[in-house]
Structure 1
Amino acid sequence: MSNEELTVPSALTAGQMPLRARWDAQFALAVLAAVLTTALTAVSFWPSFEALHDLATAHRLHGERAWAWPATVDAFIAIGELLILRASLAHRVDWAAITLTAVGSLGSIALNVAGVGVSHDPLDYVTAAVPPVAALLAFGVLMRQVHDFLVSRQPVVTTPLMPVIAPGPAVQESLESVAPEPVEETVHTPVDEPEVTEEPEPVTEPEQPSGEPTQRERMDLVVRRLYDDLGNRRPGTRHIRQALADAELPNSDGTCREARKRVETAEPHLRDLPDALAA
């Protein structure tokens, strides 16, 4: 099968940003988001550490011990989030990591609020609770970005299409010689009996010349290439319908879903890719 037959029609990318430019823009935005999230995580942990340090100082811990004590609470958040990330990459749920993160987060929030003491202004308690909550959310977002980056770096293995080749004349003659000859039977039919006609066979897709992909194979190829064009993301029905329409192929919603199902059945790892946003 030639390379021209495996090329998606140029109309698929008409009017769209080139793939290289889109990838560069996505990478720049991902780096900026990671930097800002890292800064937000550090800033969120800082007031939480300060509040827990003041609480430790007020209860007989001083100097280095007062600064080390907050780590016994807030470090559970970081450890639990990292274990959750590891479990997510392994496609499983780690309830111990979730419990660890929850205990660390609730403990940090409770201790920050308890450090306020007795106050008649509710905003004092809100101010004390915001840093540990922000630290939990910011670190969770950062781990999500790390997860997406690691998933996008996994190698994608494609399965080449196997064209159906009709058997040659020699093979056909060999099969005909092996097939048993039909046994002729004499059937006496009354003259006045009406002629019985056979039911028509279901209409199937016409056979393609040797080496040419069928219509279904062309549809699967167009859908499979969408995963690469979208930056290793799972295309939605709208993406598939537009791509099939550009390739002048059937593009109903049911056809789009069936084509994506066939592609992901052949390559199960594609189901785990993050979904692409509908255009």
Structure 2
Amino acid sequence: MNSTNPLELRAPIGQSKKVSKWKKELTIPKILATILLILATLFFIFPFYWVVSGAFKLQTVATTIPPEWFPAKPTLQNWTELFKNPVERWMFNSFIIAFCEMAAICIVSSCAGYVLAKKSFPGRGIIFTMFVAAMALPKQVILVPLFTMLADFGWVNTYKGLILPAIGWPFGVFLMKQFAQTIPGELIEAAKIDGSSEIRLFGTIILPLLKPAIGALAIFTFITSWNDYFSQLIMTRSTSMMTLPLGVATLRGEFTTNYGLLMAGAALASIPMIAIFLMFQKAFTQGITMGAVKG
């Protein structure tokens, strides 16, 4: 009589349970949702692929119909032509402006958000309502008086004129206020009982608790500043003060346009944004959902 090993009987049973569970999870709605997500991903990735592939095509190939979906004869001529321009200066300006705006907005917004969330004073609700209303106000509405004021200060075509007007970003204050509301009030009261000053309380207790919100706001600010083509176009006058998006836009000719060269510039301008998004993708998700439950 053959003896049967109990382990040999358990393995197929466990395997069958996994297969049945997998079959239950693999329903038709989930399959359709997966297919739709794949199609949507390809739809949104295709423009970036077209820009990158076009950066390695000659002008005659980049505008051919039917299009060449993959560069059969890739070339670096567009990149050589691109770096004949002051691209390094444009990138330096973009980094300086984006980084300074990011740091200043994070500091100001964290202070303002904490005060609006945890301090009681007359008019607090009205001030916060004004910040929320300002989020719906288009930048073009205040552009003319803002430009006039900066011209009176002599700040046009300077780093001050490009950085300082963006510090009071209403979205930053709103985001930090919503997150600061989740800080327990008992923690603040305990620090005050221990004799902590307001500056020490904010620096040693509040700021560490606000780190997730500050990280998300920093990424949002950097990307917004890097892509702020309209304001930078109005506030700059010389080639040396141009940012990378502005510099790439000037590569467009008056009568003819080298689209391969433009695609190379666009691909170069998108590299920092893609790198930051991949590095801080979790912060993006937290920034979108932050304050959605409490506040």
TMscore range, shorter length = under 0.3
What's the TM-score, normalizing by structure 2? 0.25
Say which one has the larger Rg: 1
Query: Larger % of helix: which?
Result: 2
Q: Larger RCO: Structure 1 or Structure 2 (Cα < 8 Å, ≥ 6 residues apart)?
A: 2
